[in-house]
Structure 1
Amino acid sequence: MKAAFQNYHARMQRVLEYIDQHLDDDLNLDVLSSIAAFSKFHFHRQFTATFGLSVHRYVQLARMKRASYRLAYRDAQSVTDIAMDAGYDAPDAFARAFRQRVGQSPSSFRKSPDWEPWLAAFGPLDNARSKLMQKTFTPDDVTIREVVSTPVAIMEHRGDPAMIGATIQRFIAWRKATGLTPKTSPTFNVFHSDPHTTPQSEYRMDLCVGIDRSFEREDGQIKAGVIPGGRCAVLRVVGNTGNLEPAALYLYREWLPASGEETRDFPIYCQRLSFFPEVPEHEAVAELFLPLK
């Protein structure tokens, strides 16, 4: 029974990965049911029963989420091109659908996103993905690595974690202006707070980029810092890198007590190696670092 259940879920997960990789293609029931190797007459009901969303609704939300990321974080692409990539024949049809979904026009969202309605709009998609895309970690997934010290430029996020998207926008804009692109300079997040135990107004997270030169920022938006070298437990996460909490909990709850190791006086942090929407969401990669003595 357990093996049959795992096989069933593996087939459904293939469908989610296929959708991620082929958002620009015709994702009809015939195609997707064949990917799952299920009868097309029952696949739609099976998908809805498993994920709480119809296939059509899931694909719509996945395309709209990618479009919203491109609007907020990739200003080189026009709204018209983003609309076409999302499967709409005309920008005005995309604008109506986008406004209905997130409460803002695409141009307004690009300029100043309202992240709370966005989180609510795409909550059903993230909930559906978490049913099958969540990885179970084992001790073999953790390696101990000697990490070198890395000078970084830091943009601090302080306040409601739901508003991190606005800080990310400013961070990306600053990186573009200074030429510190992800292709040439590593990207880190340092997690000073646990969002479940810290009041929203006191939540702290640093967005960091590795640097090899000095810089100045008159408005105080950016400061210089260092991610210290030393031993770290490293856990690689592939897919769903927008939510690293399960990986962090595994390190703290299971791996650390069983390892006999002790933590060093520096927060847990991650390095982001590939990013959605440059790669399909399930192919995004991050490494989580737990500093050790």
Structure 2
Amino acid sequence: MEPNATQQTIYHQRIDTVIAYVRTHLEEDLSLETLAAVAGFSPFHFHRLFKAITNETINELTNRLRLERAAALLRAIPTLSITDAAFACGFNSIAVFSRAFKKRYGIPASQWDRQQPLKNSKIGQLSEAFPRYTLENLSEWANAGCLQVQQRALPAQRLAYIRVYDSYSHYERITQAYEQLLTWYEQRGGRLADTTLYGMSQDDPEITPRALCRFDWCLSVPTDWIAEGAVNVVDFSACQVAAIHCHGDIYQEDRALQFLFRYWLPRSKYQPANLPTMEIYRRQPVELGWEIYDMDCAVPIELL
């Protein structure tokens, strides 16, 4: 029997809801029963369904997200101890964290280079598409005022989104999803002048294997709009962001993100919030031919 497309979409939307829940409750006890209830599936069958859709078990996903969050905190906060990072992300002992970290990245957490997290790690065996700037480069740009960081508040809003998987290996999926989302929005009477386009990177390619990285195209929509087909909706909480305006090719975005994570954050009174890195577009990428971009590269932040 051929699967019904609508039924497939419902399954994927429920699993996405679980993943979002795990990401925002990493410090809690994430039992099978709790996550099955979030998904609206029977606990008896949930583990099998989750594995079939994500290609990861629930425990694998939970451990991976906890490790990636801990790694992100260690990178952004040079003074943070390994023990504090482990407990903040839901590990109940430093021994469990240490074993999991070494298994994941191939090196002990104590030997992990916080400035160059890919160096000598198993994740780093993948080829890198972007240059790695030195701290001297970043310091020179800061002193010259080349990269201006602005802090501002983003309001709470409902976002309609389409998720793209493994976008680093399949760039065409990015443009296809963008076109699909805009078509859906305009068919429902939406005007581009009334919305904001966001690109949200749910995972960090310096910490997460690129085949597992997820990217969301999002449009702000009225609060009564609901999910439909491949388009899901989420109520995004208000947050503070540190942002750099980027006008140029995609390398400008990478430079801005390296500056924010490797230079600005460690010297600020902030840490990255448990929210995705985002692109806030000033102009639609299709207007500029997908070669030049006009956007703010933003990292959600919270006080240390």
For residues 3 and 27 of structure 1, do their structure 2 counterparts lie closer, same or farther at Cα, with a shift above 3 Å needed? Answer: same
Query: 1:100 aligned to 2:94?
Result: no
- After superposition, the C-alpha distances for 1:217-258 in whole angstroms (9 at most, x for unaligned) are xxxxxxxxxxxxxxxxx842134375799789xxxxxxxxxx
The reply on whether 1:285 has 2:288 as its aligned counterpart is no
Are residue 15 (structure 1) and residue 8 (structure 2) matched?
A: no
The sequence identity of aligned pairs, in percent, is 24
Distance change in 2, residues 1:55/1:120 (3 Å): farther
| Pair 1:56–1:266, CA change in 2 (3 A) | closer
The answer as to whether partners of 1:175 and 1:181 remain within 8 angstroms in 2 is: no
Counterpart check, 1:161 vs 2:128 = yes
Task: Give the match for residue 236 of structure 1.
Answer: 198
Structure 2 partner of 1:213: none
Equivalent in 96, 114, 117 of residue 113 of structure 1: 117
1:9-50 per-residue CA deviation (whole Å, 9 max, x = no partner) reads 111110011011111111111110000000000001100111
Structure 1 118/182 Cα, relative in aligned 2: closer, same or farther at 3 Å? farther
Report the alpha carbon displacement of residue 175 of structure 1 after superposing the two structures with TM.
8.5
Query: Once the 2 structures are TM-superposed, how far is the Cα of residue 78 of structure 1 from its aligned partner?
Result: 1.5
Whichever of the two has the greater Rg, that structure is 1
* Residue segments in structure 1 that go unaligned for 5+ positions in a row: 124-159, 186-194, 197-233, 249-264
Is contact 2:27–2:87 with CA below 8 Å preserved after alignment?
no
Q: Which amino acid aligns with 1:286?
A: E
* TM alignment of 1:76-91, pairs within 5 A: 76-91=79-94
How does the TM-score come out when normalised to structure 2?
0.49
Give 1:135-284 correspondences, 5 Å limit.
Answer: 161=128, 167=133, 182=149, 184=151, 235-240=197-202, 242=204, 266-268=248-250, 269-270=252-253, 278-281=272-275, 283-284=276-277
Offset at residue 181 of structure 1 (A) = 8.8
Which string of whole-angstrom CA distances, capped at 9 and with x for unpartnered residues, describes residues 154-194 of structure 1? xxxxxx62675x54877778899999895649xxxxxxxxx
Alpha-carbon contact 2:87-2:93 (below 8 Å) kept: yes
What do you get for the CA RMSD once the two structures are aligned?
4.4
Aligned-residue offset at 1:84: 1.1
Of 2, 7, 31, which residue of structure 2 is paired with 1:4? 7
Unpaired runs of 5+ residues, structure 2, are 153-167, 170-195, 206-212, 218-246, 266-270, 290-304
- Output one character per residue of 1:90-141: Cα deviation in whole Å (capped at 9) or x when no partner: 33432232122212121211455344634279x9xxxxxxxxxxxxxxxxxx
The correspondence for 2:66, drawn from 60, 63, 66, is: 63
SS in 2 for 1:117: coil
Q: Secondary structure at the match of 2:78?
A: coil
Give the CA deviation at 1:69: 1.5
Q: TM-score of the superposition, structure 1-length normalised?
A: 0.51
Query: Which structure shows the bigger proportion of residues in helix conformation?
Result: 1
- Contact 1:241/1:286 (<8 A) preserved: no
Query: In 2, distance between residues paired with 1:178 and 1:28?
Result: 50
User: Which of 49, 52, 56 is residue 49 of structure 1 equivalent to?
Assistant: 52
